[in-house]
A and B are shown apart, each in its own frame.
Chain A
């Protein structure tokens, strides 16, 4: 009985600590985006290592969990340098929208031909989920709880908001829930152009609220420009996925203007997008369509 009481006591203490963290968290808002250099500095901080790092690490574990769910329990890994030199490639999976992009490499558990572990390897391939070839994806609805848990541990994991909202809207068929999730994310990460862009696209595609989409996407492009300028000053740049998302942001902003009948702005936005993201071809198509509509075609 005494042990049960101690057990309950420990659980109660942990719960109290959790509640305190939830209550205290809003009083320490992060109102500016943490830059890569700040992350580097923070990692050398003892306090951050002891406290912040734990939060991030748990968040990272949850992220891996979502990938595991998506791949029916099979773990994929990035190809090693040696494998790359032999022509092996990771295949990027971007079909769910730019925000949900991730990389599938070879399976972590090697196939029979590459395995050095003999019978233990064979047993491993039977015990652990394993299948040769490219990844097959499961019902992504199952991933949603993990994103929700993830953002509780690490509310600054932008990718979790973006992916979670995508699955809520497209697979669970609950755009309202996706919108609320993104708004919560935007609240925690006001600097994030990714969240604003995804939210804007959601307003456009799911709610057909072109005014709200226009305003949100405008805000997203502004944040993206700010971010790009900052990165440039620090000799850094957007990665491929961010570039693609920025292209989509301009595209949907142009389409919002178009839907609202403001063809001049639609054309201007498409042109601005083409300058900002020269590699994103859909903007050229949009520019031609908007120009034709403006010119009465």
Chain B
């Protein structure tokens, strides 16, 4: 068990190293520059003290870019390994498929988290320079966003065992970016539905991965007080359970797959 953990860490390390040597950090830095530029749009409007606007632009761009990076990174891992046949010599060693899968997951999770932290850091510095205060809720938002990256990575990695890379990226991005829309739409529709449609809508709502619940950016933007600690704890538990489920499905599929 301990040996397999060490091997998972080796796979995670190589996943990270690949990203660094593929020059992905340059892309991240360019995107961080876009955040700064986006927030700098404020100067265009010539109005002093647009705190909400700066925070909104910064956090929206952060959310968007971090999700795109996480999805594209996670989606390419397994198909590329299989397509390039780099998987065979690796699994020729005493490395269990589960350890390999979890290593990949770990690598993507750590990378995505680092990207989120970097983006939040850029926003934080920008806000500090502009003299815009942020409260505890900003750090809570950072924590939940990091948590969501691990959640998303688990989902995308799992889907990559069933779908082609292109289909996976499209579906995952749609799911990540439209989850809020879906959750809001169902709230609109709920009272107008009856019978089996109502049951169906409720079932879909309960089963769907509620990524929108990991987004505290509106509370940061509109200066709301921090959310209670138990909410963060429940969200952590929700992420762990759902991620565990997705990883379980992924590991099972990986173990049964013909290579």
Contacts and interface: CB of A to CB of B under 8 A. Distances in A.
Interface of A: 1, 3-4, 7-8, 68-69, 72-73, 75, 77, 80, 82-83, 108-110, 116-117, 119-120, 123-124, 126-129, 138, 141-142, 144-146, 148, 172, 177
22 contacts: A1-B26, A3-B27, A4-B26, A4-B30, A8-B30, A72-B222, A72-B223, A80-B192, A108-B187, A109-B187, A110-B187, A116-B190, A120-B213, A123-B235, A127-B213, A127-B219, A127-B231, A127-B235, A141-B50, A144-B47, A148-B44, A172-B47
A122 to B, nearest CB: 8
Interface stretch (B74-82, B103-111, B161-169, B202-210): B202-210
B197 interface: no
A175 to B, nearest CB: 14
Given A144-B45, A145-B45, 5 more contacts: A123-B235, A127-B144, A142-B52, A145-B50, A146-B53
A73 B50 contact: no
Interface in B37-55: 41-42, 44-47, 49-53
Given A75-B184, A127-B216, A142-B50, A148 B235 contact: no
Contacts, number: 96
A142 B42 contact: no
Interface size class of B (residues with CB under 8 A): 35 or more
B221 interface: yes
Chain B interface helix/strand/loop/mixed = helix
A68 B46 CA distance: 22
B191 interface: yes
B191 A80 contact: yes
B92 interface: no
Contacts of A141: 47, 49-50
Contacts of B51: 142
Nearest to B42: A145
B23 interface: yes
B215 A1 contact: no
B52 A128 contact: no
B47 A73 contact: no
Contacts of A146: 53
A120 B206 contact: yes
B184 A108 contact: yes
Given A7-B27, A172-B47, A129 B206 contact: no
